[in-house]
Structure 1
Amino acid sequence: METTGEARSAPADSPAFRWRWAALAVILLGEIMDMLDSLVTTVAAPTIRGDLGGSAATIQWLAAGYTLAMAVGLLTGGSLGDLYGRKRMFLIGAVGFTAGSLLCGTAVSPGMLVGARLLQGLAGAMMIPQGLGMIRRMFPPEEMTKAFTAFGPVMGLSSVAGPVLAGWLIDADLFGTGWRMIFLINLPLGLAAVLLGFFFLPSGRDGHASRLDLVGAILAALGAGLIVYPLVQGRELDWPAWMFAMMAASGVVFTVFGRYELRRQRRGSDPLVRPSLFTKRGFSGGLVVGLVFFAGMIGFSLAYSLYLQIGLGYSPFKAGMSQIPWSLGTVFGFPAAMALQKHGRTALQIGTLVMASGVAGLVLTLQLAGTGVSPWQLTPALVVTGFGMGLLMAPFFEIVLASVDENETGSASGTLSAIQQLGAALGAAVLGTVFFGLLGGHVATAADKDAPAMRASLASVGVAPAAQDRIVAGVRACGRDRATAKDQAKNPASCVRLETDVRTAAAAHPQSAGRVVAIVQSSAIHSAKTGFGGAMKITLWIVAGMLLLTFLIAFLLPPRARPAEETAPSTPTPATA
């Protein structure tokens, strides 16, 4: 079987690689695995924490750990393919991703699961970048556009299927595996990618391979870790001074990284990131746009899923199904963006405004519908949000890369994809921290507002005023403490006291005991839902603000992408968020 024949994109008369369409299917399979695993934990996180334990930070790390590892790995993934062969690195990445999935599916502690997610992210960063290089080598110029066009539907369908599949697998509890099946399902997919890749992917290495910039990679990883770790853990550790020192140190490390890359380029060695890229306003602006936008998008996705499951009590499957309108809106936004392609940057900015209006629509929906909000009521605003996201994402990479020179495209693409993943990690860290930080205060405020009605109901069944006071105070304290608990498996002391006070009040009125318990439970549930809704609305306003900031920063981008004939051979395949 022909596995060594390669067709470079440059010579128009080079023979096309014989198994190119089968190889494209293998590359897309790798993309599907990455796309699914970047999305599933936003739905599965509450169930995972309920089973394994852990704090709110565990939920954030499930998303941030994967994308942080992916961000760091993407900076070197393409270079490793140049050095050791793209087929080899794709297969190593697929094996590592499958092994990481097995470890995730058999994890016995939050730490083991987060560590396995890091392994998945690093392996994905070795696997995903190889696809672009192999496509450029396998396909003749006249087929290049068709090959790249396949990514849109695959990514769109994966974004729809990811949350739904995760929710269904958890609720189905196949073979008693529960949430673990969302990772174990990667085992047959990964095995197929390895076996088919071995037979169908082209072998060989690029002639322009250079030495790997290991020092640059270590500095980049250190700088990213120093900023993400405190943002995730700071709230639970009460923001000690050393956390702020870590964030300050991150800036120092990135400064050292920049100077090292500049010296490396001056010595004639290939840097991890070309410093000349940052002298271009369009590219630098594009990095900031990507950082802010993808942080807002992933942060929103995480907070929204937590709100649906923990706040509204949706099952994982119902929560996954509730996100379909958002994904479908994104799928519809991509072809609409193609129709607006001639407008370039303006189309991208229209997308940010449409998405911001959708987010504002979600706030309005939550305000009007209250704690009884249904998936159908959320659908219109979610479709608008997703549609705007599609309008923005479709032209993003091409417009940003329009400001770089042709010989810088490879470095620029890798850097832009890495920034996309870093933004996702920061979004899970920052907006997750904001959301959880708001919960306690909002649940307590909601309990205060519900207190007069609860007092009246308790009085109607004969509960004495003193007992009413203890129960009302207990509902407030228990709701606040449960929302801010670092260990969800442990019942807060305030909740234990509340249970005792309710039992005492019920025993004093045996004929109304069931009614007393029902009144307290109903009030506690209502205040918790209201508190979650309040925290979600503020988080959504922050997301809307980030989108408006994206709109303003986008003025730094070039007005248009390069003509199609200039960009077709080097169009980057965006890494999934």
Structure 2
Amino acid sequence: MKYGATLAVLLSAWFMAQFDFFVVNVAAPSIEHDLNAGPAALELIVGGYAFTYAAGMITGGRLGDRYGYRRLFIWGVAAFTLASVLCGIAANPPQLVAARLLQGLTGAAMVPQVLATISAVFPPEQRGRALGWYGVAGGLGSIAGQVLGGLLLTTDVLGLGWRIIFLVNLPVGLVVAPLAVRLLPEVETAHRARLDLPGAAGLAAGLALVLVPLGLGNSLGWPAWTWVSMAAAVPVFAFTWHWQRVLGARGGQPVLDLALLKVHSYLAGVGSIVAFMAYFASFMFTLTLLLQGGLGLTAFQAGLAFAPMGVLFSVTSILGTRLVRRYGLIVVMIGGTVTGLGLTLLVVTAGLGLPYVMAALMLVGSGNGLVLPQLIGAALVEVAPHQAGIGSGILSTAQQFAGAGGVAVIGAVFFAAAEGGHHVLAMRWSAGIDLVLVLVVIASVAYNRHRAIRRTRAERSRTGARPGS
């Protein structure tokens, strides 16, 4: 099996999904002008993708477990490409909103199969490196959405305006889908398991009740219905949780595999990913507001300001996968410390001008590269291959949920502090909250490192190997 080529195919789809998650932020003004889209339509165009993406992710993972990761990936790539084309040819805001909802849903079918295939197919000696590259591709996709998206809109070589950010997926999909047919292996999964439709519907409804008000709350001034909606999510989640336990006790296969909750390293990994994505998504959002609103940069200039951070992220991501294999999770903890130093520098020097902000960003990018690519691998290390699909779906859902929640909550703090043009003060507050979240990540990784050391010692004890052997 050609592991390198297989990984490239899988990561191309993951990069594409992450790119589309972030690139619409850059294109929003152009979409507003060309389609006469109002604030509510823009919120749905930006946030609709995130909602259906997050709401469908766990079900997408379970569908992969049931019908096969290869099949779901191929159909997911094809459907995502078609949805991207529909976005690119939309003639009015309702059409674009509908296409974005479809794009998120097809991404939810495609993305969980990436991690599931890596976890189920790659041998242990290759898996850590592959999971590291998964993190690299996701991080680069996020940053490319800001930088490459701004470049595509500014140059407008083909004269397509904002449409190019969606239509660029067409050639990617036309290459990736046929290569997936040729290169991806079949994986034996639980074909005879029945899909848990009530559980899937309950999860989707609960996430909708939380994500929709989080996405629209800031722009609408947090009306009463947003709080009622989030409160209503509690009984929906409680009922869904009860149903999952009842179905599992009957011998069925619930959409949530509750056995994963007994894997402590997985739970710690989910916690670290939630904390990191809440920080990372909100940081990218509030930093854009600081650069454009506080420092007066254009959208393209703000995108370029992210470039050094992206370059350093790429370099340390590649180095980090090797360093972690040699030195273990202490490398991730060091990376979190570097990120924390960058955030601290930003808190202290945000009002001193762009050079100081750029210096802080370089530290943040360097630290993030050592952290983000490794979090997925640390979470999945003790997950059994037959749980790879649902485990990956839960992780991906946690990422999107945390990102949306981080933008909403920390964004609200930023907007409150920025009233009257105090963008620097607002950035200091939001960066301070981000720093606390990074400390949570470091603590979670330290826990998983402790468990890894215990596993190694126990294995040596069973095999009779000496510590130095």
Q: TM-score, normalised by structure 2?
A: 0.84
* Residue 55 (structure 1) shift: 5.9
- 1:363 maps to which of 344, 347, 350: 347
RMSD of Structure 2 on Structure 1 (CA)? 3.4
8 Å CA contact 1:302, 1:432 repeated in 2: yes
Structure 2 equivalent of residue 45 of structure 1? 28
1:215 aligns with 2:193: no
1:175 aligns with 2:144: no
- 1:123 maps to which of 100, 106, 109: 106
Cα deviation digits, residues 78-121 of structure 1 (max 9, x gap): 33233333333222211221122123223344454343222222
Over 3 Å counting, the alpha-carbon distance change for 1:124 and 1:209 in structure 2 is: farther
- Structure 1 distance, partners of 2:65, 2:211, is 30
Over 3 Å counting, the alpha-carbon distance change for 1:324 and 1:283 in structure 2 is: same
- 1:535 maps to which of 411, 426, 447: 426
Q: Secondary structure at the match of 2:195?
A: coil
**After the TM superposition, which residues 512-523 of structure 1 pair with which residues of structure 2 at under 5 Å, given as runs?**
none
Structure 2 equivalent of residue 391 of structure 1? 370
Over 3 Å counting, the alpha-carbon distance change for 1:149 and 1:179 in structure 2 is: same
- 2:420 maps to which of 442, 448, 460: 442
What runs of 5+ residues in structure 2 fail to find an aligned partner? 459-469
- Structure 1 distance, partners of 2:72, 2:385, is 25
- 1:421 maps to which of 382, 400, 403: 400
- Structure 2 distance, partners of 1:265, 1:414, is 18
Q: Secondary structure at the match of 2:420?
A: helix
* Residue 216 (structure 1) shift: 1.2
Structure 2 equivalent of residue 548 of structure 1? 439
1:80 aligns with 2:80: no
Structure 2 equivalent of residue 241 of structure 1? 224
Q: Secondary structure at the match of 1:174?
A: coil
Structure 1 equivalent of residue 267 of structure 2? 284
- 1:232 maps to which of 208, 215, 218: 215
Structure 2 equivalent of residue 492 of structure 1? none
* Residue 23 (structure 1) shift: 4.3
* Residue 242 (structure 1) shift: 3.0
* Residue 329 (structure 1) shift: 2.7
1:250 aligns with 2:243: no
* Residue 39 (structure 1) shift: 2.7
- Structure 2 distance, partners of 1:78, 1:291, is 18
- Structure 2 distance, partners of 1:75, 1:22, is 27
Structure 2 equivalent of residue 330 of structure 1? 313
- 2:9 maps to which of 19, 26, 30: 26
**After the TM superposition, which residues 387-536 of structure 1 pair with which residues of structure 2 at under 5 Å, given as runs?**
387-402=366-381, 408=387, 410-439=389-418, 441-443=419-421, 531-536=422-427
Whichever residue aligns with residue 360 of structure 2, its letter is A
Over 3 Å counting, the alpha-carbon distance change for 1:30 and 1:164 in structure 2 is: same
- Structure 2 distance, partners of 1:22, 1:404, is 24
Whichever residue aligns with residue 393 of structure 1, its letter is L
Structure 2 equivalent of residue 559 of structure 1? 450
- Structure 2 distance, partners of 1:169, 1:107, is 18
- Structure 1 distance, partners of 2:405, 2:289, is 17
Over 3 Å counting, the alpha-carbon distance change for 1:289 and 1:86 in structure 2 is: closer
- Structure 2 distance, partners of 1:357, 1:172, is 36
Q: Secondary structure at the match of 2:222?
A: coil
- Structure 2 distance, partners of 1:160, 1:359, is 18
8 Å CA contact 1:300, 1:540 repeated in 2: yes
Whichever residue aligns with residue 430 of structure 2, its letter is T
Which of these two proteins has the greater Rg computed from alpha carbons? 1
- Structure 2 distance, partners of 1:442, 1:304, is 18
Structure 2 equivalent of residue 90 of structure 1? 73
* Residue 389 (structure 1) shift: 1.5
- 1:67 maps to which of 41, 50, 63: 50
What runs of 5+ residues in structure 1 fail to find an aligned partner? 1-15, 444-530, 567-577
Cα deviation digits, residues 477-524 of structure 1 (max 9, x gap): xxxxxxxxxxxxxxxxxxxxxxxxxxxxxxxxxxxxxxxxxxxxxxxx
Cα deviation digits, residues 140-159 of structure 1 (max 9, x gap): 67766666565465456545
8 Å CA contact 1:232, 1:430 repeated in 2: no
Q: Secondary structure at the match of 2:158?
A: helix
Whichever residue aligns with residue 70 of structure 1, its letter is Y
Structure 2 equivalent of residue 351 of structure 1? 335
* Residue 203 (structure 1) shift: 5.4
- Structure 1 distance, partners of 2:330, 2:116, is 30
Over 3 Å counting, the alpha-carbon distance change for 1:386 and 1:64 in structure 2 is: farther
Q: Secondary structure at the match of 2:450?
A: coil
* Residue 205 (structure 1) shift: 5.7
- Structure 1 distance, partners of 2:136, 2:443, is 30
1:339 aligns with 2:323: yes
8 Å CA contact 1:159, 1:327 repeated in 2: no
Q: Secondary structure at the match of 1:175?
A: coil
Q: Secondary structure at the match of 1:382?
A: helix
8 Å CA contact 2:112, 2:392 repeated in 1: no
Whichever residue aligns with residue 337 of structure 2, its letter is L
Cα deviation digits, residues 124-154 of structure 1 (max 9, x gap): 1211222345456766677666665654654
- Structure 1 distance, partners of 2:93, 2:413, is 21
Whichever residue aligns with residue 450 of structure 2, its letter is P
Structure 2 equivalent of residue 3 of structure 1? none
* Residue 59 (structure 1) shift: 5.7
1:316 aligns with 2:295: no
Whichever residue aligns with residue 382 of structure 1, its letter is L
Q: Is 207-216 or 307-316 further displaced after alignment? A: 307-316
Over 3 Å counting, the alpha-carbon distance change for 1:51 and 1:560 in structure 2 is: farther
Structure 1 equivalent of residue 464 of structure 2? none
Count the aligned residue pairs.
Answer: 455
Q: Secondary structure at the match of 1:270?
A: coil
8 Å CA contact 1:46, 1:309 repeated in 2: no
Structure 1 equivalent of residue 466 of structure 2? none
* Residue 163 (structure 1) shift: 2.5
Over 3 Å counting, the alpha-carbon distance change for 1:251 and 1:71 in structure 2 is: same
Whichever residue aligns with residue 244 of structure 2, its letter is E
Whichever residue aligns with residue 349 of structure 2, its letter is T
Whichever residue aligns with residue 287 of structure 1, its letter is V
Of all paired residues, the percent bearing the same amino acid is 36
